[in-house]
Amino acid sequence: MSLSLTSITQQKGMPIAEATRRIADLGWTPSYVKEAMAFPTDYKISRQPKDPMKQVLRSYFPMQEEKDNRVYGALDAALRGDMFRNVDQRWVEWMKLFLAIIPFPEISAARSMAMLGRLAPGDDLRTGFTMQMVDEFRHSTIQMNLKKWYMENYIDPAGFDITEAAFGKCYATTIGRQFGEAFITGDAITSANIYLQVVAETAFTNTLFVAMPSEAARNGDYALPTVFLSVQSDESRHIGNGHSLLMSILNNPDNHLLLERDIRYAFWQNHAIVDAAIGTIIEYGTRNRDKKKESYAELWHRWIYEDYYRTYMLPLEKYGIKIHHDDVHQAWEDITKNGYVHKVAQFFSAGWWANFWRIDPLDERDFDWFEYKYPGWYNEYGAWWENYRKLSKPGSVPITFADTGYVYPHRCWSNLVPCVIRDQLKVDEVDGQLYTYGSEVDRWTHKEAFSGEYKGRATPAMGRFSGRRQWEELYDGWDVADAIKDMGFVRADGKTLIAQPHLSLEEKDMWTLDHVRGNTIKAPITTLRSLSPEDREKHIAEYRKGSAIRLV
Amino acid sequence: MNMQATIEEEAVSGAAGTKTFPSSDSRKYNYFEPKGRKATHYEDVTVDVQPDPERYLAQNWIISFANGDPTYSKDWTCIKSANWHLFRAIDQEWERNHYQRQSTIVGMIENVIQNGRRSGAPSRFDKQWVGILQDHLGAYKHFEYGIGVALMNAQRRGYTQMINNALLTNSSYKLRMAQDITLYLGEIGLDIPGFDPSAGKKHWLEDEIWQDTRRAIETVMGTNDHLEQYFAINVCLEPLVGELFRNGYIAQLAAAQNDFMTPSVVSAGEADYDRNLANTAELFITLVNDPTYGAENKAILQDWLKTYGGLALSAAHNLEPLWSLPAVKIAQFAGALQAQLERIDTITNAIGLTPLARH
Ligand SMILES: [Fe+2]
Ligand SMILES: [Fe+2]
């Protein structure tokens, strides 16, 4: 028998359960001064949530440092191995969008721990919230670091160099801002527990942080997987925090109506936003067309439908929470039958000049793969992408304004993704103003969920949609060239666009402000609001019918 | 070349420097002014990640609270600034150096405890001193915890990423410290017969000595003004209570009671505080020198100094009986307090405030 070193030196220690119990006992109820008002919630939480993870900071910090060492070691190795010589530019271009968005939701998740920490009774979960807070600080800054690394080492740094400024201005990142703000604004439980932990982290981090890395690796990018799989390894802690708090909330039947509302809103909006962005990046940002790999639809079925819906959401019914099965089925149909991801990708390419990354045309290999994975794809989207390729030369009409039959879409007032599944467009009035929505759930979200009252019950803590929610309204009536300049999406020579509808870096191929000047941006919602009721009805009916794309 | 020329395929290599074209050498984040000549790594991964309508939110915040507050509001503190975006944390922490530092500290503390226990040190501590650690270091850990909790709340409310991340790392340090002390007491308790790890909380809640300290930190937890909390904690409570106890009491007295372990455990808190104090002072110096609101801000800080400095000073005086508890009395309360009063004067002087009144 061999003696291990630890068995000789080991001292009697405190069992971890005892350690976490003592740490939870650090809290007390103030008696001299009442604790300040927490961020508001309409939920009542009377039962103390239990800490499922049983971990202390003493072991947490070294464990995380070790993870970091592996990440930074791998980044160094990627450079030594000349990763960027073989990386697919199509892929890295989309990282300009993805990495512009993600650090803000991450740091928002850190901020939201303040809101939950104050609301959860007792101090059992405080360590869990602390670790999540520091984890999310990790995620935000490690992603900013990764982006800087791409900027320093990738052939075309334009777009990475303006990243956080671009995030605040871009018509695509607006959906990422909706996502991140939804973690921290409005009812504290709705946002930080249900939207963030119970839905975004528990369901959608798999597509964000596991599917994305796999696709990155297939495109020769070994850096993104290193960083994001390390990020994902922190998520089980966050999912545990969220579940524990959810169980305390469930305990009070008074909360059930609000839970039904919030799970519905959060599931649908997470689907709309994450599937739009990540679906597009995974399916359209890749050069890998291996027919054996899972499509986004197949990944979605495994992670969202099987793992989340069937094993996490459904069991909540036994506690008396109404689950909206029809929404989950609708989301699934939208991804498989209704081409949600394809239509969002089509939209991003339609507005390529408003981007701060380059989108190249699809080729025959891409067509072949899409047709194989999504039978009927070419029939519906083939003409669009043929046009896109044809119109990618400077001097062509920007595809948005070409005579293709494509109608620039309305935007959903709730999730801010354009209403691309056109027959699902909903229009309604809230406080006397007309709004457009991508689907019935989105209409319900704005009109019924984000309101001071829900089904006859006062909900004074619920947030409101605010700001200038539709990007198109900012530039309604502007010349495209002026809008691009205003956003700052122009290269250092003051005229070449950062965005390009192809990947050539030959100056003769690159579009400048002059190439896009003379085209005017119209905000569909402004137009719709200005129509007479009859014309509006006609417009909506036409829109819902959709239109076929013709070859230019 | 005519317009009909085909678009070139992407360059074969995706590596930097393969080709020259507009912006091909734009390899720095170019949307913010670095504080120094060149952006630091901390600035690159921190600045503007939390946006606001002045810095790039063309659509403004797009969700609001029921009362109309946006996602982040300047009204969440009564301090005003002509430019909230100026502040940079002196300690330049982002995730990597934060974990490195925290992990080094817990490693150091674990070594001290392991080596000390292996050599049987806790059983040689002076008996009276063991009681003091049990009751009063045990009570003190709740003060550290309260600061950590208050700062965790505060990091949701600052107007920039730089401010909120400085609050966040400060919170992380204090919550670690509270846990360090808890685990340390639990572990030496295993080696000391009759040691009661729950005694500390009882003293925190009931012992007269600690009630003004508890009142002070509860007052900090009773406000939602995050800058009021940051000021109260690092300018007032830390020097007059935290450091007084860690440095003026534990570090001064332990060795004479045959305790070489506790000062090492507690001393980590001193280095943490130095860094957090540097961040705090930098922020308030910026705000007091604000071209538009400097004078107004200074008056508010002076007011906070009066309130929280007063609470902290009274808490400090209440701790005086601790100095007569050890069997070997080699340090005096008066001297310890004097050192801390000099400390707070140095801090307020650096910020440009009138010193704290002594009564
Ligand atoms: Fe995260
Ligand atoms: Fe997370």
Tell me the count of A-B CB pairs closer than 8 A. 369
Q: In angstroms, what is the span from residue A197 Cα to ligand 1's centroid? A: 10
CA dist., res. B96 & res. B21, Å (int)? 34
Give me the pLDDT at residue B190, please.
Answer: 96
Least Cα separation, residue B350 to chain A (angstroms): 30
Q: Answer whether B153 sits within 8 Å of A28, measured CB to CB.
A: no
Q: What angle do CA B57, B58, B60 make, to 5 degrees?
A: 60
Check CB contact under 8 Å for B221 and A35: yes
Q: Which residues of B touch A30 (CB under 8 A)?
A: 218, 221-222
The amino acid at residue A163 is T
Structure tokens at B283: 């922020």
B241, pLDDT greater than 50: yes
Domain ranges across chain B: 84-351
pLDDT exceeds 70 at position A337 = yes
**Mean pLDDT of the residues in chain A:** 96
Q: Near ion ligand 2, which residues have CB within 5 Å?
A: A 201, 238
Query: Are A464 and B45 a contacting pair at CB < 8 A?
Result: no
* Torsion over CA: A533, A535, A537, A539 (sign): negative
Look at A115-124, A345-354, A370-379, B52-61 and tell me which has the smallest mean pLDDT.
Answer: A115-124
Residue environment code for B188-222, b if the CB has 16+ CB neighbours within 10 A, otherwise e: bbebbeebebebbbebbeebebbbbbbbbbbbbbb
| Ligand 2: centre distance to CA B145 (Å) | 24
Q: How confident is the model at residue A19 (pLDDT cuts 50, 70, 90)?
A: very high
Among residues A121, A131, A139, the alpha carbon closest in space to that of A71 is found at A139
DSSP-assigned beta bridge partners for residue A479: A520
pLDDT at B1 over 80: no
3-state DSSP helix/strand/coil percent for chain A, to nearest 5?
Answer: 60, 5, 35
Q: Average pLDDT in the B235-259 region?
A: 97
Between chains, do B29 and A103 touch, taking CB under 8 Å as contact?
Answer: no
Q: Which residues numbered 316-375 in A keep a CB inside 8 Å of some CB on B?
A: 360
Residue B191, pLDDT score: 96
Does B225 score more than 70 pLDDT? Answer: yes
**Torsion A430-A436-A439-A442 (CA) sign:** negative
Task: Give residue A340's Cα distance to chain centre.
Answer: 15
pLDDT in tens, B95-142: 999 999 999 999 999 999 999 999 999 999 999 999 999 999 999 999
Which tokens belong to A543?
A: 């829109």
A319: closest CA among A238, A260, A239? Answer: A260
Nearest Cα to B150, choosing from B271, B285, B42, B308? B308
pLDDT in tens, B161-180: 999 999 999 999 999 999 99
- Which of A286, A245, A248 lies closest to A98 in space, CA to CA? A286
Please tell me the CATH code under which domain A57-474 is placed. Answer: 1.10.620.20
What's the 3-state SS for A289-335? Answer: CCCCCCCHHHHHHHHHHHHHHHHHHHHHHHHCCCCCHHHHHHHHHHH
User: How many whole angstroms from A205 Cα to the centroid of ligand 2?
Assistant: 8
> In this complex, is the C-beta atom of A503 within 8 Å of any C-beta atom belonging to chain B?
yes
Question: By percentage, how much of chain A surpasses pLDDT 70?
Answer: 98
Give me the pLDDT at residue B2, please.
Answer: 39
The burial class, CB within 10 Å (0-12 / 13-18 / 19+), for A269 is buried
pLDDT of residue B6: 65
For residue A527 the two structure tokens come to 């137009």
Q: Which of residues 196-225 of B touch A (CB under 8 A)?
A: 197-198, 201, 204-205, 211, 214-215, 218-219, 221-224
CATH of domain B84-351: 1.10.620.20
**A360: which chain B residues are within 8 Å (Cβ-Cβ)?**
10
Mean pLDDT on B197-211: 98
Asked if B185 and B133 count as a contact pair (C-beta separation under 8 A), the reply is yes
Q: Which residues of A371-406 are buried (b: 16+ CB within 10 A; e: fewer)?
A: eebbeebeebbbbbbbbbbebbbbebebbbbbebeb
pLDDT digits (tens, 9 = 90+) for A271-301: 999 999 999 999 999 999 999 999 999 999 9
Residue A458: beta bridge partners?
A453
Residue B3 pLDDT exceeds 80: no
Cα(A104) to centroid(ligand 1), Å: 10
* Ordered alpha helix ranges (H), chain B: 41-46, 95-118, 121-124, 127-132, 138-154, 161-191, 199-206, 208-221, 226-231, 243-245, 252-253, 262-288, 294-304, 310-318, 333-351
Q: What's the confidence (pLDDT) of residue B4?
A: 45
The answer to whether B37 contacts chain A (CB < 8 Å) is no
Asked if A31 and B100 come within 8 Å (Cβ–Cβ), the reply is no
pLDDT in tens, A188-199: 999 999 999 999
Please tell me the distance between residue A133's alpha carbon and the centre of ligand 2 in angstroms: 9
Half-sphere exposure of A55 (CA within 13 A, CB side): 21
What pLDDT, in 10s, does the model give residues A79-104?
999 999 999 999 999 999 999 999 99
How do residues A338-396 score in pLDDT, each as one tens digit?
A: 999 999 999 999 999 999 999 999 999 999 999 999 999 999 999 999 999 999 999 99
Contact between residue A394 and residue B7 where contact means Cβ atoms under 8 Å apart: no
Cα Rg of chain B, angstroms: 25
Q: Do B29 and A163 touch (CB under 8 A)?
A: yes
Contacts of A254 by beta carbon, 8 Å cutoff, 6+ apart: A44
Residue A431 has pLDDT above 60, yes or no: yes
Nearest Cα residue in chain B from A100: B49
Identify the pLDDT of residue A4: 52
Cβ contact B24–A156 (<8 Å): yes
- Percent pLDDT > 90 in chain A is 94
